[in-house]
């Protein structure tokens, strides 16, 4: 029996790999240099060249919470229960906070967070106390 010979290995045609290696090295060098060139083309403005920001006056913010049982909290501190419609402790505390903010030159902002199960009259009582204290910037929020 004879040994089978591969006709492709016995042919005189040879595949030159030298040119392919040269092309691969050129591509490798090109793609290594490409990111460096792209980074050099970016126009970056450094923060040191930007003018400093103006000092912004932030308002004095306070949170009034109205609980389902009619209890009123100012910044998580109890200010009055549901037994009376007058809220003198809330009114006096808000007046002091507003006077302090006015002396500092900032606005007083009060956010009312009324529980959905709280009496609606209690929200009116809080709004009356805010009016008597001189607070004009009032907003409502609902945390669920």
How does pLDDT run across 45-103, given as a tens digit for each residue? 666 655 666 766 667 889 999 999 989 999 998 887 767 788 889 899 999 999 988 88
Residue 2 within a domain: no
For residue 5, what pLDDT band results from cuts at 50, 70 and 90?
low
Residue 86 within a domain: yes
Please report, to the nearest 10 degrees, the dihedral formed by the alpha carbons of residues 129, 130, 133, 138 taken in order.
180
Task: Give the predicted TM-score (pTM) of the model.
Answer: 0.59
Residue 137 within a domain: yes
> How many Å apart are CA 27 and CA 82, to the nearest integer?
80
Residue 31 within a domain: no
Structural domain containing residue 119: 60-141
Q: How many domains does the chain have?
A: 1
CATH number at residue 84: 3.30.420.40
């Amino acid at each position: 029996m004879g040994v089978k010979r591969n006709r492709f290995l016995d042919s005189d045609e040879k595949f030159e790999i030298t040119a392919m290696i040269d092309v691969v090295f050129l591509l490798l060098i090109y793609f290594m240099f490409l990111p460096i060139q792209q980074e050099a083309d970016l126009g970056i403005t450094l923060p040191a060249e930007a003018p400093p920001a103006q000092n912004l006056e932030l308002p004095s913010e306070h949170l009034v919470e109205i609980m389902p049982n009619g209890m009123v909290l100012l910044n998580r501190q109890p200010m009055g229960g549901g037994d009376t419609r007058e809220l003198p402790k809330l009114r006096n505390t808000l007046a002091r906070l507003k006077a302090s903010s006015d002396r500092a030159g900032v606005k007083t902002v009060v956010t009312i967070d009324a529980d959905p199960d709280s009496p609606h009259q209690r929200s009116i009582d809080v709004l009356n106390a805010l009016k008597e204290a001189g607070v004009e910037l009032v907003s409502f929020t609902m945390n669920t």
